[in-house]
Amino acid sequence: MDRNVGFIGLGTMGMPMVRNLMKAGFTVTVYNRTVAKAERMAKDGARKAASPKEVAAANAVIVTCVSDTPDVESVVLGPEGIVEGIKADSVVIDMSTISPDATRRIADRLRGKGCHMLDAPVSGGEQGAIDATLSIMVGGEATVLERCRPVLEAMGKTIVHVGPNGMGQTVKLMNQVLVAGNLNAAVEALMFARKQGVDLVKAIDAIKGGAAGSWQFTNLAPRMVKRDFHPGFKVGLMQKDLKLVMEAARATGTPLPGTSLVHQMFSSLDTATEGESGTQALVKALERLAGTEIG
């Protein structure tokens, strides 16, 4: 396949994903609203574009990895957006986490231009992006996925086609339901043990390899104890994802009592100060209720 790829969005995830594409031998053209990030990638060997339109004009495969639904709509459909420069039979791979309904609308617009879309959100956090071990859940046409598989394989380890456009985003929201529940369980378990006077470091070692273990517990419980709130995934982004979950659940009349609770716990954090913290800062919400720090 063509070894030229466009990439829009150089945040916590996007920047290491671009580096892995270049390591795999792709020539990558990048765009980012914060120009300094694009310039940093240009120093590492990427080509810098002045707009999403320019990225699309130069590449048959364009990856987007931005924060929220309006951001994707802007870079794809807005002024100087992808849709203004894209060539027939090109593919937009959206690796953001956004609304499934919005994804279907964007895919329809691109089909009208004779182009294709894959919604391919990821799980694995910053470290997964750095290590190229992301799990990628893909919605769209299977033949388009096979055409673009080498691009995705440069960034991820597990690539699963889950259905038509919108299903990648739906499965990612399912992923976030599980993440939120496991994270809240880890927070409550640590608080329970702390109140009983347990050595938390030893307790984590005893539990993490057993039936109660989870990625959230193994990786984030030690950070909570150490008061390390550096983001692998940010509170503000989790809040956005849970909002999307609750909107989609409401549209289908799906009760999600546990997820709703965790959403409210995140909401109780002062997003002005905690929005940039890692999701393990959820422990602070329970600490306020309990009047006790676990660390």
Question: Annotated active-site positions, please?
Answer: 172
How many residues are present in the chain? 295
On whether the CB atoms of residues 120 and 138 are closer than 8 A, the answer is: yes
Q: How many Å apart are CA 174 and CA 160, to the nearest integer?
A: 14
The conformation of residue 115, written as its DSSP 8-state character, comes to: -
Name every residue whose Cβ is closer than 8 Å to that of residue 225 and which is 6 or more positions away in sequence.
Answer: 190, 200, 201, 204, 294, 295
Q: How many Å apart are CA 72 and CA 105, to the nearest integer?
A: 12
Which is it for strands 91-94 and 122-123: parallel, antiparallel or unpaired? Answer: unpaired
What is the enclosing helix (H) or strand (E) of 37?
A: helix 35-43
Among candidate residues 51, 43, 44, 45, the one with its CA nearest the CA of residue 8: 51
The conformation of residue 87, written as its DSSP 8-state character, comes to: P
Output the six-digit token pair for 9.
């969005």
Q: How many Å apart are CA 190 and CA 215, to the nearest integer?
A: 15
